[in-house]
Amino acid sequence: MITKQPVIAIHGGAGTLTRAAIEPAQEAAYHAALAEILAEAQQALSDGAAALDVVGRAVQRLEDNALFNAGHGSVFTRAATHELDAAVMDGATLRAGAVAGVSHIRNPVLAARAVLDQGDHVLMAGSGAEAMAREMGLEMVEPRYFSTEFRREQLHRVQGTTTAVLDHDGGGKPLDEDRKFGTVGAVALDAHGNLAAATSTGGMTNKRPGRISDSALIGAGTYADNRTAAVSCTGHGEAFIRTVASHDLCARMAYAGATLDEAARQIVMEILPPVGGRGGLIAVDAKGNVSLPFNTEGMYRGYARVGEVPHTAIFAHPSGTSSF
């Protein structure tokens, strides 16, 4: 029985090229990619698809697009390798699955879903996660599949100059592509009132091999609970881990009576900055409200309600807010 107006929200990373630096063709490419994925998800939700399936498919599409730092087009570690993380969570049951530090699974989000479906564990890493993916029949690739020449040049530019570089951040000046917070994610409410979240990332350029992001950690970068909200974060992962950001958002709604937007903005604007947390998040609550705050120059983002025109955006509103 359909009781809710379904909605999907997605992000492709917080922090962007500044308005002054971005080329019209680049901006158009991001809008087109986001709009295409939203339209597909919107149709699936209209057809009655489950939120968990829809967020997984949306993130899979983002992983396959080299514009974003997840899957194909992921950044390099300081050892010139790739290590990818992903997680999914079902708000109806609190079941969750995640993989971390994988290098041969074409779509890490599908492996995260496989962990959830198996049900024995929540988080699997490295070779163990890849063995599981093979057993489940997921598509495996050689690590070079994730490489692009752009990302290799990015690594060469930053080696010897910094410890690790995130994949999207403006900071008020023309941004070079080496400083962006690169994560992708999706949150959704389906027609039956169920929430779900999914997040995936290629990590940080020049990061130390073995570093795990918040994206794979349930309660940090990814969380969903039908009683409150579904959340996917993007930004400086260590800060999101230290503040348990996505769970904190839901806790503020459950225990303090905060609205979705109040809780989301408290996390992004008040809790994260003191610990160096630059980035943003996308969230949808059990009533279908959407919040997409960020404290960077921008965030590649969009949302679509069934029966309504989809919206995509990159930069903050001219008024200085991050609303559409």
Distance CA 232, CA 283 (A): 7
Ligand-binding site membership of 215 (annotated): no
Q: Rounded to whole angstroms, how far apart are CA atoms 274 and 127? A: 36
Distance CA 129, CA 127 (A): 5
Cα-Cα-Cα-Cα dihedral sign, residues 172, 178, 179, 184: positive
d(CA 86, CA 110) in angstroms, rounded, equals 9
13 touches 69 (CB < 8 A): yes
Residue 213 assigned as binding residue? yes
236 is in an annotated binding site: yes
183, 199, 222, 312: which is the annotated catalytic residue? 183
**Is 97 annotated to bind ligand?**
no
| Residue 137 annotated as binding site | no
- Is residue 237 a known part of a binding site? yes
Non-local CB neighbours of 185 within 8 Å, separated by 6+ positions? 10, 11, 59, 197, 198, 199, 200, 215, 221, 222, 232, 233, 234, 282
Question: Does 234 show up as a binding residue in the annotation?
Answer: yes
Q: Tokens 């390099």 identify what position?
A: 76
Annotated active-site residue 163? The verdict is no
According to DSSP, the β-strands at 279-285 and 290-291 are: antiparallel
14 half-sphere exposure, CB direction, 13 A CA radius: 21
Burial of 93 (0-12, 13-18, 19+ CB in 10 A): middle
Is 200 one of the annotated binding-site residues?
A: no
Binding residues: 211-214, 234-237
Active site residues: 183
Binding residues for substrate: 211-214, 234-237
